[in-house]
Amino acid sequence: MLLKLILWTSFLVVWQQTPIVVAKQKKNVFCYHGTWSTYRQSLGKFDVETHIDPFLCTHLMYAFFGIEESGELRIIDPYLDLEDNYGRGNIKKFNALKLRNPTLKTLAAVGGWNEGSKKFSTVAADAAKREKFVISVVQFLQKYGFDGIDLDWEYPGQRHKLENQDRENFLLLLKELKEGLEPFGYLLTAAVGSVKSSANISYDILEMMKYLDFVNVMAYDLHGPWESVVGINAPLYAGPQIPLIIPTDEC
């Protein structure tokens, strides 16, 4: 995905909580900036200050931040993200894009594939840790100037061996996040898996929509090396001869 941003918008379905009115519906374009692209060489290298067009998208996600088992939000790459100790200060540069486009919204994306599932499960299962996470998120957004948080837990009920009620606890986490963020006008979104068999394990979709402003469906990696037949990575439609088989613990 060597684009100026990791543009999930090409492979993304955005669900809105409010009813769609075609004539007046504002088009929302969500884009994810994978911060690790800063370290690439040549055409694969993308810097915040030189390669992000602040008018291309309505919502920009800074991916990723992590989560501690204690419930605190974690900066994964302090040198890249912060200005301390001669760091590159990418968070500040990223949110400064709103000076060029005042209508732009920026969100802190928390999680991702590499962050795993276990720590999310541990936090979501504990009321005190959920409360600590909500407080940590609010303080983080206030400190760094983001407009909301995008929760990318990959995936509730999967990719760890803990006994869990992740599907139910994910709802509790979303509910409490919404209650903590709403007084400040912060957005709450989530990135979710798109395959039905996986989604049924992880999500109570109707209940989730009570708390989320947007749901970003990860409609890519739908085919890969776990299959014997080559398929399109992010197809718009299912092929008649190629079923979707996605082993989330191995892909």
Q: Which residues carry out catalysis?
A: 154
First and final C-alpha spacing in the chain: 16
The Cα angle at residue 42 between residues 39 and 46, in degrees rounded to 5: 50
Strand partners, 61: 32, 107
What's the chain's Rg over C-alpha atoms? Answer: 18
Burial 168-207 (b: 16+ CB within 10 A, else e): ebbbebbebbbebbeeeebbbbbbbbbbeebbebbbbeee
Select from 213, 92, 199, 91 the least CA-distant residue to 149.
213
Distant-in-sequence, close-in-space partners of 231: CB < 8 Å, separation ≥ 6: 222, 223, 239, 242
Contact (Cβ atoms closer than 8 angstroms) between residue 60 and residue 31: yes
State the burial class of residue 77 (Cβ atoms within 10 Å of its Cβ: 0-12, 13-18, 19+): middle
